[in-house]
Amino acid sequence: MPDPQMQSSETTLRGAVMVLLQYDVAEAIRLDLLQELVSARKVAKPSMKHPAPGYVRYQRPPVVVPVETLVLESGEQLHGEIKYYDYGVLSVVFELPFGGGWEKLTALASRWVWDVDFAAQATAIVRASLERAAPALVKPYEEWLSEDYLIFHVREIDGSPTVADLIREHGPRIAQVVRGDTGQLAESECNEVLQSRISYYANDLAVIGWNAAFLYDSTSGAETAVQLLEYANSQLLEFRHYDDLLTEELERVYTLLDKGTGTLARWRLARSATRLHTVLLDVAELTEHADNAIKFLSDMFAARLYKLAALKVGVPDYKELVTRKVHTAEELYRFMVDQFNQSRAFFMELTVVIILVVELVYLFRGNVF
């Protein structure tokens, strides 16, 4: 693999760097009401790379609201917009036009990946937007989970190389951009990064990492990849929320069970079992809601691209964690219900015995007198 330091520094790249910031702000967002509150539009159907009839469509398209320019401490000005998803996620997308060589791009990637706290700098903008949207939020959260992701979109490269040429000549540079590292990476690390790539045509490329992605495509061609990366990160955020919610509820149930399973304790389990069952229903509903937010119809390339993006950012891992905790919670719920039913049965039997004793007492007293 070529040494990136030996490659020509004259190659010019043109494109943009996008910052995705996502926040889990509420249980749900009423998009119809939101559109009445703010000047907004809905996300249009993204154009596909090929003329096949398949396309990607949102079941409930997110509402898009323009936001003020974000000015970094370095003086860079990023223009952006906020997307509101109906399952309670707010996604901020900032963009900075880019032009220059590979060294400039790798330096920018390293600085933005490791040194710039975009979430902290965008907090004021997000809170201002949420104040206007507050009536549309369903059960807003006091504390927000957040995710950030960088997309380095290169529209043009001098010479218009094919994907094969680009990988052969600039593969190490692409790996540096995705990793956010200016140092020369080992060949094994470069290969690890470049394994997570996908192309449809000979002149388009997406290399996806856990916190950044490199896209080589036209503006319209990259639109689908950007939306799918954004959606994959929003799903990660949702499953992180479910994981935290279930962890907190399971800890509360374990604490209650540690206090004992006597008759009185079993009666207290009834309320806890009802609460746990409500959480399980909420998780099932919200998970289905998030899973069904986007549909892949006939476009197998988009489905493969989404699967790769979800895998790299960690959606399957968190989904598996949530699934295991849901199974644990279901077993605990059944145990708590069984304990309560035993206590109720004991109480009913005891009540019947007391009634019989009382009747016998009155019966004998009547015979005596």
Is the distance from CB of 123 to CB of 144 less than 8 angstroms?
A: no
pLDDT in tens, 260-301: 555 555 556 666 777 777 778 877 776 776 667 676 656 788
Q: What is the pLDDT of residue 250?
A: 84
On the question of pLDDT at 55 being above 70, the answer is no
- Return the higher-pLDDT residue of 328 and 156: 156
The span from the CA of 344 to the CA of 348, in Å, is 6
Instruction: Quote the distance between the C-alpha of residue 287 and its chain's center.
Output: 11
Q: What is the pLDDT of residue 198?
A: 96
pLDDT in tens, 79-97: 999 999 988 999 999 999 9
The span from the CA of 68 to the CA of 83, in Å, is 14
Q: Give the 3-state secondary structure of residue 13.
A: strand
Query: Alpha helix (H) ranges present in the chain?
Result: 31-37, 102-114, 118-133, 163-179, 187-194, 219-258, 263-291, 300-313, 315-368
Task: Annotate 63-99 with b (16+ C-beta within 10 A) or e (fewer).
Answer: bbbebeebeeeeeeebebebbbbbbbbbbbbbbbebe
Q: What is the pLDDT of residue 343?
A: 61
Is the distance from CB of 172 to CB of 102 less than 8 angstroms?
A: no
pLDDT-wise least confident of 24-38, 216-230, 285-299, 317-331: 285-299
Q: What is the pLDDT of residue 245?
A: 85
Rg of the chain's alpha carbons, rounded to an integer?
28
DSSP string, 315-326: HHHHHHHHHHHH
Q: What is the pLDDT of residue 49?
A: 56
On the question of pLDDT at 6 being above 80, the answer is no
Q: What is the pLDDT of residue 173?
A: 96
Q: What is the pLDDT of residue 230?
A: 92
